[in-house]
Amino acid sequence: MSESTPWFLGNDPGHVRAVVADADRMSKIISRARRILTVLGPEISDDGAMLSVVRAIPSSSLVASPRTRPLMAVASGVKPDVYMNVLEVMDRLRDPDWQGFDGKGAYDLVIFLGMDYYYASQMFSLMKHFGRGVGTVSLGRHYQPNARYSFSNLVPATWHAQMQRLAGLLRGEE
Amino acid sequence: MSAARIKADEVVTSFGRIRGLEIKVGKVLVEEWEEVCGPTPAPGPLDLREWDRKLLSRYRPMYAPFCDMCCLCTYGKCDLSNGKKGACGLDIESQQGRIILLACCIGASAHGAHARELVERLVEKYGPGHPINLGDKIQVEAPLVRLIHGSKPTTLADLLPPLEYGERQLMDLLSATHTGQEGSYMDFESKSLHISMIDHMFMEIADLAQVVALPYPKGDADAPLVDIGLGCIDPAKPVILAIGHSVLPGAEVIEYLERNGLQEDVEVAGICCTALDLSRYSKATKVIGPLSKQLRFIRMGIADVIIVDEQCVRADVLEEAKKLKTPVIATTAKICYGLQDRTNDPADEIVRDLVQDKAPGALITDEAKAGEVAVRTAIELHKKGHGKKLDAERLSSMAVRCTECEACVRECQSNLDIPKAMARAAEGDFSLFEEFYERCTGCARCESACPQHMPIINMINEGASGRISKEKFKLRAGRGPIQDVEIRKVGAPIVLGEIPGVVAFVGCPNYPGGYKEIGEMARIFLDRRYIVTASGCSAMDLATYADEEGKSLYERYPGDFDGGCLCNVGSCVANAHISGAAIKVASIFAGRRLRGNFEEIADYVLNRVGAVGIAWGAMSQKAASIATGFNRLGIPAIVSSQASKYRRTYVGRQDKNEDWWVYDARDGSRIQTEPAPLHLLYVADSKEDAIVAAAKLCIRPNDTSKGRQIKLTHYVDLHRKYLGSMPEDLHLFVRTQADIPITMKTEILQLLKDRNWEPRKIPDPTLLERLVRGR
């Protein structure tokens, strides 16, 4: 199977699919963005790799699923600006008049982490078609065809290593 | 009066001579119902469009397409990505609206066809004049038929005109999905709302017909407790398994058993809504559970005969049954499985062929004959013995073949680590498979994908064999409609907010986190004295949630429609009694006219009746139309993340003040109000999110201060407990200081001060200017 085969094989939306990116490319994409919204889904865990990447992303706004609040309370260096259901976040992102959670203007990149595969896929699809051109990045372990950039399908150890490298690159370490 | 024809070659009258006169009268309706009719009896697709636009401007449809393509005509495939249109001119947004309409039409057609079959068969058996009599406690017998069609049925035959009206609507609306018809997503949505409203009427007709004709509970809160669970079947007896949604074939099995004195000798078990309805028909019925249990039970090899009727039956039941030499009897034109039609053959011949394995099954559309054949075949085959299930030793030896390719995991929506469990099973340890038991939805896509053809469902059965044998719970049989007297009792507390809300657990068993989640949710609301109702697969799964003493929720909580009670209305079609209850609150408690008056009643429910549905495992097209029908009536629904695959939500924006206004019916002033209910169709991130959202979605603009205090107490308390904080939007729901829960006053006052909160007027709310008094 190619590296851009959806993790769930039936989840093939058509020919417009995510570009497969590794940690190095992800780092460049994220570094190029001007205003980043990072969305932490309900499946976010205290996995060191996940949270170290979240800390390293230069997010303009960090929004987390309300369910993650107890975890966020003990995760040092990770302080969401807003707790909000993912669907409600998407509803704002499709609004051309929305000026972001900080009121400073629209975001140009949305990063998803810690979401159930199917749910994330649907939300990426929503952004792909109705997100007004805002870029999307999936940092999950499996290839998400509806995102603009995604990891390929990775085994846990490789994904973990990629996340650690991404965190390092975003922190300016080589 | 039925059809009449008058014909005269020549008639001489005072105003002239008429030749060749012919007058035909199709049907004369005798009008005995004095209620003044509202503006929309038997509405067409355009008659409630303005109401839909009001809803859709506040709850904007949001689409998450499954697929970028349209594959519905030979112009295509058309790629609709990057803003492109298809050959017919549709863009991706309208295409999604079209798919939603199609889903709602499919859902409504399933209930409509079910209703048609039930009404016709019951008219045939009990006569067209069989009365619609639900007893003294229920006078508003058919709130949806009254509200939508504008008629008041008094006999079974009176259910035919509203059915015909609904069928006509279905045809019109389905036609709008054809290539080159509707082009606006908003109008596709309006049409979806329309057919889904009709769907609720179809469901009411179906359930009303069976409730009045068959010996079902008729709104009885103390309907009998019946057995449910895979472990409640006695495998020493012949077992007949009925799967689907129609009571008719299974009822004939029971009648045949009773006529022949065999009721103690044969087990009649059911899966899905057929089981629920058979348990209403006879409390001796054993309910296996929801549709997710189909393969599990078939693979257990306990059933001697399987009868299928319609809806939610796996397409591979015959293929699966063949492996165990279990005959399948198909009983409707909707599911034939390629079986030979034996309806006109003598029962003796069919039984002989099935017992001797000359045929894998038979199509028998005469339910009485199907019942007889099922019983006789089951008894014979049970004596003779047929296929055996795979044992642990064999399964363990098969598990060795697993190559850990993960093809199974890539098909599993619950993301179960099947290869790991397989490695353990190869060593004879099925404990990991036991852990999957609650989270597996029984779809078997994993098996279908496995290059080694592993029987993964059997392995889960094997792992869970100990608990399966103990899986015996109590389910309260579906009671049917809510009594008028119950509505009189709870109407005021609901509308004023003193009963914090009505939470309905509806829909299918495609749960993201396992079936226990709905039990946990239901118990929370029961203990907080919400009215909790249940239907369909959710009603069955709620029974399998046991408390610390091992009692099911149905044993622990009474079956009334009242605070702190768990009211199982029945099968899928009994969902109509939940929407019907909301309508009855407007009618019986508030005295609003029902007849042909949908918009006013929906406006009432939206602004005053704090009800919400939780369709945690919604999967089917029927669930789509059921939820959308609730939405048109002003009742929000919460679904799980799996149901984001329905592709459309109706979400509100509480940061857009301009969306949240009502007319004050007292003086016509247009005033700002709270965002309530905030959403009409909401995808909850998690069980915790759903719990808090349900409490919030029960808030209504009409709540009295006392009622609002109670609702906010629950909202704040649940938010703190399950999401770990004070709600950040609390200030939006406090209108005056009197709304603040007394025990939280100091804290909330500080919060209000921080938010620059100011008091505002409590309106007599409506979105309909024509309802402003004096206009």
Distance CA A128, CA B116 (A): 43
Strand partners, A19: A149
- pLDDT value for B636: 98
Residue A140 lies in a domain: yes
Q: In Å, how far are B272, B369, B434 from B286, measured between CA atoms?
A: 12, 22, 24
B67–A88 CB contact, under 8 Å: no
Res. A30 pLDDT band, cuts 50 70 90: very high
Say which of A94, A118, A130 has its CB closest to residue B642.
Answer: A118
Query: Does pLDDT of B2 surpass 90?
Result: no
Please tell me which residue of chain B has the smallest CA distance to A82.
B728
Closest chain A C-alpha to B604 CA, distance in angstroms:
26
Residue A4 lies in a domain: no
Give B315: exposed, middle or buried? Use CB within 10 Å, 0-12, 13-18, 19+.
exposed
Res. A45 pLDDT band, cuts 50 70 90: confident
Residue A90 lies in a domain: yes
Closest chain A C-alpha to B691 CA, distance in angstroms:
11
Question: Would you tell me which residues 134-173 of chain A have a C-beta closer than 8 angstroms to some C-beta of chain B?
Answer: none
Chain A CB contacts of B729 under 8 Å are: none
Res. B32 pLDDT band, cuts 50 70 90: confident
Distance CA B560, CA B223 (A): 10
Res. B16 pLDDT band, cuts 50 70 90: confident
Number of domain units in chain A: 1
Unique residue bearing structure tokens 């003044």: B36
Query: Does pLDDT of A20 surpass 90?
Result: yes
Candidates B602, B552, B619, B707; CA nearest to B227 is B552
| Residue A19 sits at the chain B interface (C-beta within 8 Å) | no
CATH at residue A141: 3.40.50.1220
Say which of A16, A65, A90 has its CB closest to residue B81.
Answer: A16
Quote the distance between the C-alpha of residue B473 and its chain's center: 22
Query: Does pLDDT of B538 surpass 90?
Result: yes
SS3 B35: coil
Least confident of B203-217, B316-330, B510-524, B724-738: B510-524
Q: Which residues of chain B form CATH 3.40.50.2030?
A: 233-384, 475-660+671-699
| Residue A174 sits at the chain B interface (C-beta within 8 Å) | no
The model's pLDDT over B702-739, given as tens digits with 9 standing for 90+, comes to 999 999 999 999 999 999 999 999 999 999 999 999 99
The model's pLDDT over B365-423, given as tens digits with 9 standing for 90+, comes to 999 999 999 999 999 999 998 877 889 999 999 999 999 999 999 999 899 999 999 99
SS3 B308: strand
B62–A119 CB contact, under 8 Å: no
- pLDDT value for A77: 84
- The pTM for the full model equals 0.95
Domain range for A100? 19-170
The model's pLDDT over B588-611, given as tens digits with 9 standing for 90+, comes to 999 999 999 999 999 999 999 999
pLDDT (mean) for B208-212: 98
Candidates B669, B516, B532, B550; CA nearest to B612 is B532
The span from the first CA to the last CA of chain B, in angstroms, equals 41
The model's pLDDT over B242-269, given as tens digits with 9 standing for 90+, comes to 999 999 999 999 999 999 999 999 999 9
Suggest the residue from B657, B686, B732 to mutate for an interface test with chain A (most A CBs closer than 10 A): B686
Are A102 and A63 a contacting pair, CB within 8 Å? no
Chain A CB contacts of B692 under 8 Å are: 66
| Residue A84 sits at the chain B interface (C-beta within 8 Å) | no
Are B84 and A128 a contacting pair, CB within 8 Å? no
Least confident of B276-280, B377-381, B496-500: B496-500
Eight-class DSSP state of A117: H
Chain B CB contacts of A15 under 8 Å are: 68, 79, 81
Res. B512 pLDDT band, cuts 50 70 90: confident
- pLDDT value for A32: 97
Are B667 and B772 a contacting pair, CB within 8 Å? yes
Res. A130 pLDDT band, cuts 50 70 90: very high
Chain B CB contacts of A73 under 8 Å are: 724
CB within 8 Å of A83: residues ≥ 6 apart: A63, A64, A65, A66, A68, A69, B723, B725, B728
The model's pLDDT over B41-89, given as tens digits with 9 standing for 90+, comes to 999 999 999 999 999 999 999 999 999 999 999 999 999 999 999 999 9
Query: Does pLDDT of B134 surpass 90?
Result: yes
Distance CA B382, CA B188 (A): 53
Residue A12 lies in a domain: no
Q: Could you tell me which CATH number the domain at B233-384 has?
A: 3.40.50.2030
Say which of B641, B723, B724 has its CB closest to residue A119.
Answer: B641
| B666-685 core/surface letters (b: 16 or more CB in 10 A; e: else) | eeeeebebbbbbbbbbbbbb
Percentage of chain B lying above the pLDDT 90 cut = 92
Q: In Å, how far are B54, B78, B174, B720 from B669, measured between CA atoms?
A: 18, 49, 40, 36
Please tell me which residue of chain A has the smallest CA distance to B641.
A119
Residue A1 lies in a domain: no
SS3 B329: strand
The model's pLDDT over B305-331, given as tens digits with 9 standing for 90+, comes to 999 999 999 999 999 999 999 999 999
- pLDDT value for B601: 98
The model's pLDDT over A144-160, given as tens digits with 9 standing for 90+, comes to 999 999 999 999 999 99
Residue B361 backbone phi and psi in degrees, to 5 = 175, -170
- pLDDT value for B33: 85
Query: Does pLDDT of B3 surpass 90?
Result: no
β-strand pairing of B661-664 with B765-766: antiparallel
Chain B CB contacts of A119 under 8 Å are: 641-642, 644, 683
B644–A123 CB contact, under 8 Å: yes
Res. B150 pLDDT band, cuts 50 70 90: very high
Strand partners, B651: B60
A42–B79 CB contact, under 8 Å: no
Query: Does pLDDT of B227 surpass 50?
Result: yes
- pLDDT value for B1: 45
Counting other chains too, the contacts that B70-76 makes at CB distance below 8 Å and 24 or more residues apart are: B70/B95, B72/B179, B73/B179, B75/B179
Residue A125 lies in a domain: yes
Chain B CB contacts of A123 under 8 Å are: 64, 644
Candidates B88, B98, B311; CA nearest to B192 is B98
The model's pLDDT over B106-117, given as tens digits with 9 standing for 90+, comes to 999 999 999 999
Percentage of chain B lying above the pLDDT 70 cut = 98
Closest chain B C-alpha to A73 CA, distance in angstroms:
10
Residue A112 backbone phi and psi in degrees, to 5 = -110, 140
Structure tokens belonging to residue B187: 């109008």
ipTM over 0.95: yes
The yes or no reply on domain B475-660+671-699 and CATH 3.40.50.2030 is yes
CATH topology of domain B49-213: Substrate Binding Domain Of Dnak; Chain:A; Domain 2 (1.20.1270)
Res. A2 pLDDT band, cuts 50 70 90: confident
Q: In Å, how far are B50, B195, B631, B706 from B189, measured between CA atoms?
A: 12, 10, 11, 37
| C-beta atoms surrounding A13 within 10 Å | 21
> C-alpha angle B105/B106/B108, rounded to 5°?
65
SS3 A20: strand
- pLDDT value for B25: 62
B724–A69 CB contact, under 8 Å: yes
Res. B356 pLDDT band, cuts 50 70 90: very high
The model's pLDDT over A46-95, given as tens digits with 9 standing for 90+, comes to 777 899 999 999 999 999 999 898 888 888 889 999 999 999 999 999 99
Strand segments, DSSP code E, in B4-88 are 4-13, 16-25, 60-63, 69-70, 78-79
Query: Does pLDDT of B495 surpass 70?
Result: yes
Residue A62 lies in a domain: yes
Unique residue bearing structure tokens 């349209």: B70
Residue A99 lies in a domain: yes
Say which of A10, A67, A122 has its CB closest to residue B723.
Answer: A67
Query: Does pLDDT of B37 surpass 60?
Result: yes
The model's pLDDT over B682-695, given as tens digits with 9 standing for 90+, comes to 999 999 999 999 99
- pLDDT value for A1: 66
